[in-house]
Amino acid sequence: MTRRYDDALAGLQAAGRLPSVVGAVAERGSPAWWGRAGADPAPSPETAYRIGSITKTLTAVLVLQLAEAGEVDLDDPVGRFLPDAPHGGATVAGLLSHTAGLPSEPSGEWWERTPGTDRAALFSANAGRPAIADAGELYHYSNLGFALLGAVVEEAHGTSWWEAVRTRLLTPSGMAATAYLPPEGCAPGRSVDHFTGRLTAEPHADTGAMAPAGQLWSTPADLLVWAGVLAHGHPGILGEAWAARMREPVAPAVDYGLGVRLLRVGGRSWVGHTGSMPGFQASLFVDPATDDAVAVLANATTGLPSDRVPGLVLAVDPPAPPEPWRPTATLPVSLAGVPGLWFWGNTAYSLEWWGSDLRLRDVRTGEVGDRFVVAGDGADARIIGSDGYHRGEGLTVHRDAAGAVAHLECATFVYTRTPYDPASPAPGGHPDTVRGSENVF
């Protein structure tokens, strides 16, 4: 029965070029499966990944605890609790639902990739910034807004946001694997070079005052526990009525509640959140009607279709997975400088090395029309079409005197770094090569 989950996860890994991905499923509220795909690293059930904006759901529950206790009214302006806060007129409900009109990001350096500042520095840097819309005018996702909500929590409890998370959420729920800083043995953050498939390390920044928007690390098993809290509340954490209130859409056309995303996938209604930080992506969703839940975590900056995870992983009959994708360790010598953006005439192509073949992808459609393999080694290697219109044809790499790639040529098709200029000769001194190759392939 769980084979379909393994196949679905393998499909996500291959299609998204994910160094590693882990997932878990609960059926009717009980853990039913854990799986992994990819090998950088080879994860275990205890391997933690960064969960990004799934963190916001924990911040939201902390705020709703205060509302349930009567210490906060959802219509209160945050200035009531934070007199020095920027956008002090924004209401608690407006911040939870991203309808307060705040800017999406704080001023300053890219907060997800740089060491975070404290609250005073964050407030000072954003003082006087205008809103981008009137309150309630539109849904506009705001990380800055959740930093303000985290500060409200700190003021209410007289402690740090993380201490409130730890004592008021993690301990009562038993989520022992969820952490503020990257725990020992965690998955490393990675980005994948679009053209070569090589991996680059991403930072694991402590985001400081922005932590309530996306700081935490966790495992799929812990997230399934949290899914139950989002679905029905939890004794000592949040009452079921308030959990239900979280799931009410803020407007008919907005798929967001009070700190949670709302999805309609596979004819079912899901509540949860997606997450993204440099080097990581995450997805957690639960169907409150059935208590089915799915959590998927990957250590790649891009590549995981996070909001499609429930439909893809829980599909009754997922397609057979393709061959696993593996990061590039060494690029063949003959391909040095070849992967990248190229133009045939005025049409843009992405030439990508996938570890065993070179793929020519139409940038406009995203479709791969041709593939090439490298035959031989070193200077004597040949690049031969293996699939598509160029099958069997040789791809010639023309280099200048310094060894840099000048242009590519395959069966009179010339690929250049810039779009074709009909007023200038084509590379190599053949002015009719590009125009004379208007075959459809």
How far is C-alpha 357 from the chain's CA centre?
26
For the chain, give the secondary structure using H, E and C.
CCHHHHHHHHHHHHHHCCCEEEEEEEECCEEEEEEEEECCCCCCCCCCEECHHHHHHHHHHHHHHHHHCCCCCCCCEHHHCCCCCCCCCCEHHHHHCCCCCCCCCCCCCCCCCCCCCCHHHHHHHHCCCCCCCCCCCCCCCCHHHHHHHHHHHHHHHCCCHHHHHHHHHHHHHCCCCCECCCCCCCCCCEEECCCCCCEEECCCCCCHHHHHHHCCEECHHHHHHHHHHHHHCECCCECHHHHHHHCCCCECCECECCCCEEEEECCEEEEEEEEEECCEEEEEEEECCCCEEEEEEECCCCCCCHHHHHHHHCCCCCCCCCCCCCCCCCCCHHHCCCCEEEEECCEEEEEEECCCCEEEEECCCCCEEEEEEEECCHHHCEEEEEECCCCCCECEEEECCCCCEEEEEECCEEEECCCCCCCCCCHHHCCCCCHHHCCCC
- pLDDT exceeding 70 applies to what percent of the chain? 95
Question: Which whole number is the average pLDDT over 49-64?
Answer: 98
pLDDT of 422 strictly over 90: no
pLDDT of 378 strictly over 60: yes
Highest mean pLDDT among 107-111, 302-306, 323-327: 302-306
* Whole-number pLDDT of residue 57: 98
CA atoms within 13 A on the CB side of 45: 11
- Tokens 């979280």 label which residue? 246
Tens digit of each residue's pLDDT (9 = 90 or more) over 36-47: 999 999 999 999
**Does the CA dihedral 299-97-152-246 come out positive or negative?**
negative
Tens digit of each residue's pLDDT (9 = 90 or more) over 169-198: 999 999 999 999 999 999 999 999 999 999
Spatial distance between the Cα atoms of 27 and 427, rounded to a whole number of angstroms: 60
Residue 1 banded pLDDT, cuts 50, 70, 90: low
Question: Which whole number is the average pLDDT over 361-390?
Answer: 92
Residue 437 banded pLDDT, cuts 50, 70, 90: very low
Q: Comparing C-alpha atoms, which of 372, 382, 370, 373 is closest to residue 334?
A: 382
Are residues 340 and 353 in contact, defined by beta-carbon separation less than 8 angstroms? no
Cis peptide before 339 (omega within 30 of 0): no
Spatial distance between the Cα atoms of 224 and 300, rounded to a whole number of angstroms: 21
Contacts with 205 (C-beta within 8 Å, 6 or more apart), sequence order: 112, 113, 114, 115, 116, 278
pLDDT of 426 strictly over 60: no
Amino acid letter, residue 109: E
- Tokens 């939201």 label which residue? 60
Spatial distance between the Cα atoms of 389 and 374, rounded to a whole number of angstroms: 17
Spatial distance between the Cα atoms of 110 and 256, rounded to a whole number of angstroms: 25
Exposed / middle / buried, residue 157 (Cβ in 10 Å: 0-12, 13-18, 19+): middle
How far is C-alpha 4 from the chain's CA centre?
23
Tens digit of each residue's pLDDT (9 = 90 or more) over 309-355: 999 998 877 778 788 999 999 999 999 999 999 999 889 999 999 99
Q: Comparing C-alpha atoms, which of 146, 284, 126 is closest to residue 215?
A: 146
Tens digit of each residue's pLDDT (9 = 90 or more) over 251-263: 777 899 999 999 9
Query: Which structure tokens are listed for 52?
Result: 């990004």
Spatial distance between the Cα atoms of 149 and 154, rounded to a whole number of angstroms: 9
Q: Would the pTM of this model clear 0.85, i.e. be above it?
A: yes
Alpha-carbon dihedral 428, 433, 435, 441, rounded to 10 degrees:
-120
Tens digit of each residue's pLDDT (9 = 90 or more) over 223-247: 999 999 999 999 999 999 999 999 9
- For the beta carbon of residue 251, count every other beta carbon within 10 angstroms: 12
Query: Which structure tokens are listed for 161?
Result: 């946001």
Residue 429 banded pLDDT, cuts 50, 70, 90: very low
pLDDT of 427 strictly over 50: no
Question: Which whole number is the average pLDDT over 13-34?
Answer: 97
Residue 423 banded pLDDT, cuts 50, 70, 90: low
- Name all domains of the chain by residue range, CATH numbers in brackets: 3-313 (3.40.710.10), 333-437 (2.40.128)
pLDDT of 435 strictly over 60: no
